[in-house]
Structures are given as structure tokens and as C-alpha cells.
Amino acid sequence: MLYTGNMINRSMFTGMIRMTFVVILLVPLAGCDPLVNIEGAFFPAWLISGIAGIICMVVSWSMLRRFGIDQHLPLRSLSYISMLILYTTLIWLVFYAK
């Protein structure tokens, strides 16, 4: 058996190549985070959109429960996650898209 203490095996090398490729692809996205000034503190717009999306989803959930539609939804958790994504992206598009 050969000593392989300092040698990099093939799977580790390909993993490093993949990770390097992912980092290179993500570097241009670093400047895509718009900041919103709220009382002197700068918040990322995606955070504000996400919180507003959660609030809209909770309001929708309470309305669906009040009208009795909630119990007839197939795959409730998937439906509410989809509503959260829908509301978050709509808020992002309405308020922050240029």
C-alpha cells in the first residue's frame, strides 16, 4: 500500500473544482442587494419583502380558515409555502424592481 498522506484524491479534487465554479458564478451577484434606508439603518430589500410576504400569508391563512376553505386545500403546507413565495415575489416586483 502506498503512502497517500499529502496526496489529494480524485473526488476531493472534483469537489474543489465544483465549489470554485459555483463561487465564480455567484461573485457577480454580490452587488445585487438593494438597500433600503429605514430610520438611518440600511436593510436589504429581500428581508423586508420576506417579512411582508409572511404577514400576507398569515392574513390569507386566517381568511381561508374563517371561510372554511382551509380544510379543503390539498397539500396545505405546500399551498401555504407557495402563497408565501408568491406574495414575497410580488412585493419585491411592485416595490423594488426597476
Q: Specify the higher pLDDT residue, 48 or 37.
A: 48
- Kindly list the distances between the CA atom of residue 30 and the CA atoms of 26, 47, 85, in Å, as whole numbers in the listed order: 7, 16, 22
pLDDT of residue 8 exceeding 90, the answer is no
Ordered by start, the domain boundaries in the chain are 32-95
Q: How far is it, in rounded angstroms, from Cα 19 to Cα 7?
A: 19
Q: What is the mean pLDDT of residues 60-85?
A: 92
Q: What is the mean pLDDT of residues 49-68?
A: 94
Cβ atoms of residues 42 and 36 within 8 Å: yes
Encoded amino acid at 28, one letter: P
| Count of beta carbons in the 10 Å neighbourhood of residue 51 | 13
Q: How far apart are the first and last CA of the chain?
A: 62
